[in-house]
């Protein structure tokens, strides 16, 4: 978020710290689904059930050492913009965040069908990578690899920022966020790691057909899958 200069005063800072630390423990409600962000204040928060998906580009440092900045900008913009577009197409999406070359989202997956839809979106991510790599090859640019991490669990949803400044954002914390990010780091890391890495909880909520697309990764203690979107792949085949 855009910021403007305001002088810093440590005495004012200490007042804000004490106000935050002295706030009541009773402002943090348990929720089965994700409430509107408008319900958040600087003194409350919500514990919610949700799914998290993290998508990260592998070996991005190699790209930085090989290509000039305008080329890098085009690669990252194409990668990030279309991941955001893809995640926005999920009816349960609540938040989308961009951190460097990582895009991640929080999803209000109340039912098993919602978890399976998210699994299908992971397949679309892999096919999107394939489409992007085809377009990159036309520009004589090396292909990229991605890792996708999926988990379901509890998260703490709070409003973070500086009261009165207009600078604030929803902050997501908890095991599900850290776990999905950790699983993502395994995706396509080595030749034994498949692109999509998912927790036992996600796997348990998949249909039997989707479960058959996954296998157990003994080294990582989780499930993984090489999955693609059939429609996207068929279109790509007709274009190449």
- Residue 9 is assigned to a structural domain of this protein: no
Domain count, the chain: 1
3 state SS for 124-148: HHHHHHHHHHHHHHHCCCCCCEEEE
- Residue 114 is assigned to a structural domain of this protein: yes
Cα–Cα separations (whole angstroms), residue 171 to 44, 45, 112, 177, 217: 12, 10, 25, 11, 31
In the chain the beta strands, taken as DSSP E runs, fall at: 28-31, 45-58, 93-99, 102-107, 145-162, 167-173, 196-198, 215-217, 222-225
pLDDT, tens only, 152-196: 999 999 998 877 677 788 999 999 999 999 999 999 999 999 999
pLDDT, tens only, 77-116: 999 999 999 999 999 999 999 998 899 999 999 999 999 9
- Mean pLDDT lowest for which of 40-49, 84-93, 120-129, 208-217? 40-49
- Residue 75 is assigned to a structural domain of this protein: yes
Q: For the chain, how far is it from start to end, CA to CA, in angstroms?
A: 40
Domain that holds residue 185: 41-239
The phi, psi pair for 171, rounded to 5°, reads: -110, 130
- Supply the mean pLDDT for the chain: 92
The HSE-up count of residue 195 (CA atoms within 13 Å, CB side) is 20
Helix (H, G, I), strand (E, B) or coil at 72: helix
- Residue 144 is assigned to a structural domain of this protein: yes
- Residue 220 is assigned to a structural domain of this protein: yes
Rounded to whole angstroms, how far apart are CA atoms 144 and 79? 10
- Residue 232 is assigned to a structural domain of this protein: yes
Is residue 186 within 8 Å of residue 147, measured between CB atoms? Answer: yes
- Residue 135 is assigned to a structural domain of this protein: yes
pLDDT band, very low/low/confident/very high, at 1 (cuts 50, 70, 90): low
Residue 63 Ramachandran class (φ > 0 left, ψ -120 to 50 alpha, else beta): alpha
pLDDT, tens only, 17-59: 888 788 877 778 998 889 998 999 888 899 999 999 999 998 7
CATH number, domain containing residue 99: 3.30.70.1230
- Residue 30 is assigned to a structural domain of this protein: no
């Amino acid at each position: 978020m855009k910021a403007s200069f305001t002088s810093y005063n440590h005495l004012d800072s200490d007042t804000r710290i004490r106000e935050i630390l002295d706030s009541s423990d009773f402002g943090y409600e348990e929720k089965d689904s994700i409430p509107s962000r408008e319900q958040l204040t600087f003194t409350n928060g919500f514990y919610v059930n949700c799914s998290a998906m993290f998508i990260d580009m592998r070996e991005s440092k190699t790209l930085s050492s090989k290509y000039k900045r305008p080329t890098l900008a085009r690669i990252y913009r194409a990668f990030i913009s279309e991941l955001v577009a893809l995640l926005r197409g999920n009816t349960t999406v609540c938040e989308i965040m961009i951190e460097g070359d990582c895009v991640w989202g929080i999803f209000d997956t109340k039912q098993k069908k919602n978890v399976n839809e998210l699994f299908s979106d992971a397949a679309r991510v892999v096919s999107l990578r394939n489409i992007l790599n085809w377009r990159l090859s036309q520009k004589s640019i090396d292909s990229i690899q991605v890792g996708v991490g999926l988990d379901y669990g509890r998260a703490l949803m709070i409003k973070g920022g500086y009261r009165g400044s207009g600078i604030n954002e929803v902050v997501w914390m908890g095991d599900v966020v850290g776990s999905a990010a950790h699983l993502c780091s395994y995706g396509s890391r080595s030749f034994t790691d498949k692109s999509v890495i998912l927790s036992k909880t996600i796997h348990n909520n998949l249909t039997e057909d989707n479960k058959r697309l996954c296998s157990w990764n003994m080294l990582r203690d989780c499930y993984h899958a090489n999955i693609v979107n059939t429609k996207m792949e068929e279109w790509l085949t007709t274009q190449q």
